[in-house]
Every structure is written in structure tokens, then in C-alpha cells.
Amino acid sequence: MSETTSPQNPEGRDDAILPFAVEPLDVRGRAVRLGPSIDTILRRHGYPDTVARLLGEAAALTVLLGSSLKFEGRFQLQTKSDGPVDMVVVDFEAPDRLRATARFDAGRVAAAGARAGTAQLLGHGHLAMTIDQGSAQSRYQGVVALEGQGFEEAAHQYFRQSEQIPTRVRLAVAEQVEGGGQAWRAGGLLMQFLPHSPERARLADLPPGDLPEGHALLDDSANREDDAWVEAKSLVATIEDHELVDPTVSSERLLYRLFHERGVRVFEAQGVHEACRCSRERVMGMVRNFSAEERRDIVGEDGRIGITCEFCSRHYDLDPAEVEAEIAGGPQG
């Protein structure tokens, strides 16, 4: 743990989560920078640029949210919508494993144009955030309606309706060109207002638009946000996208720029790396759940069962006879 009094470590550390606290403003949060991990994920599938940016944002948000887990478990972000990108799935397996994939209609993505943003690509549907500790009893899911907003606003909506914690999220994705090569980068910052007094953390009510004309609020103070939170939000609103992804601007340096007048405390950084959960055992577990007829249907013309992981593109080539033998001789499930 260290107090940031100057912009230490000017070179940004990639694939790392940096927790921080600004105690005078009663805020805590995390900053994340993804480099080789997100570049590996995005280049593996050769996504169009607009889809890559969308999935990069989803990955940064998932790491910001999933890294708050205090136990070994999995945080998953998943969308299902009617937009050109109809499904996004990002898994963060605590404390440091990340994988992600997106499903899209290539024609609709091309028609949307090179400037299409996240909100346009997602369209309408829902975003689900699931915490899974390994059993059905310890599974929690929050759902947010997608109504033409991007991931930042969807996250704000989730915290307003589910956690009721004043929260601000910033996300950015860019493709860096350096030394004749290109590499994807993603970054994000999550900040929450967590004062000791619950009353101070109360979210401001929406303006009473249906109040009859001539009637004033009896006490407008109940509708005002805490001054410390207003200040913190104003500072975070000054973040430029490039500050979240620039490899020469570390998370420490960004936090110093934002909060040096108040004093910001940073804690030990946590690394992140790209890693898939797939394995032959998991694939066999999936196939075992198919009916005998379904297993026959997935046998290819070459007489083999071929299954490709949607996350890491690893291909599993299975012999149907060996599959049936394993199912007959192994545990059923």
C-alpha cells in the first residue's frame, strides 16, 4: 500500500488491476489496463474493429467488477440483444483469469459502419452479470435492460437499481500502432462512494416531473447529492479516453492527476491474464449430457466429432467410439 504524492511509474503496467482509495472524498475504486491479454483475445477471432472495441469494453468492465470478489469464483458478463452483436460473453475467474467472445452478424456490422458505437451494436435486450461461487446456492445474478445504451451507462443503471451504491465507470479501447505493428489495448476505471454514514450515500431522487404546477418541494436537500461525491464525479468526468489506454500513462499517474489535491492511496496491483477454462474433460462432460441421437448427429462426414471452443478457438477432435466407451464406463451426468 502506498500514498501517491507524485506520478510514480510513468510507464503503464499492462494486464493489471490497481485498487485505490481517496479517503477525504470517501471513495474507493479500481483502475484496470489490459494489453497482451485483450490483444490475444481480439486477434484470435479476427473481429471487425467495431466489434473488437465493443468486446474490449466488455472485458474491461468485467475485470473491474469481477476483481472485487473476495473468494475463488467466477464473474460472468453476458448480453443477449437484437443488435448486430447479439451476444457477448466475458468470464473473469478470480483472481486473474480472463476470457471473452462475441457473436455477431457480419453483414449488419458492416452496414452499421466504421463509426458504430457500442450502444448501436448492442441494440435492445438485456445484460446479465452473474457471480458463481461453484454451487447453485451461491449463485447471484443481476439483470439490466439494454435500451440503446452502452456498457458504461448499463453499469451505472445496475448499481442504481441493484446495489444502490453511487458509482461511476469509465471505459476505453484503442488499437496502438507502434514499430510497424498493431496491438489492442483496453482500460477502465470504477469509482464508488462509500461513506461511513449510510444517509450520505443515498442516491439523489429523479426530478418529480409530475409535480403539479405551483407546488414546490418541501425539502430539496433530500434530492441533493453529497458534496464529496459531486466533486469526485466531476474529477472522473475529466478523464480522456487516451488516458485509460496510453502505455506511457500509468494508472498511478492518472490517479495522481485526478486526485492529487485530495490525496489518493493505491494498493498492491493484481495481475490479469488470458486463460480459457476449456479442456477435454469439460468437452466430454458437455457431450455426455447429449442424448445418443444428438451425439450421432454431431458426427462429421469424416466420422469424427469436432468441437471448437468459442472462446479460445481450440479444436477438440474426438473418436465417437471412444466417446461412447467413456460414457458407458464413466460416471453418468
Per-residue pLDDT in tens (0 to 9) along the chain, 333 residues? 544 444 444 455 899 999 999 999 999 999 999 999 999 999 999 999 999 999 999 999 999 999 988 777 899 999 999 999 999 999 999 999 999 999 999 999 999 999 999 999 999 999 999 998 876 667 889 999 999 999 999 999 999 988 889 999 999 999 998 777 899 999 999 999 999 876 777 655 444 445 555 555 545 555 578 999 999 999 999 999 999 999 999 999 999 999 999 999 999 999 999 999 999 999 988 998 899 899 999 999 999 999 999 999 999 999 999 889 888 876 544
Indicate the angle between helix axes 280-288 and 320-329, nearest 10 degrees. 80
Which cell numbers in the block locate residue 250? 500509468
How far CA 164 is from CA of 64, 129, 146, 198, 296, in Å, comes to 17, 16, 19, 11, 50
Task: Give the pLDDT score at 137.
Answer: 61
Task: Give the pLDDT score at 123.
Answer: 97
Task: Give the pLDDT score at 135.
Answer: 66
**What is the pTM assigned to this prediction?**
0.86
Task: Give the pLDDT score at 202.
Answer: 65
Which residues are paired to 132 by β-bridges? 74, 139
Interatomic CA distance for residues 117 and 112, integer angstroms:
9
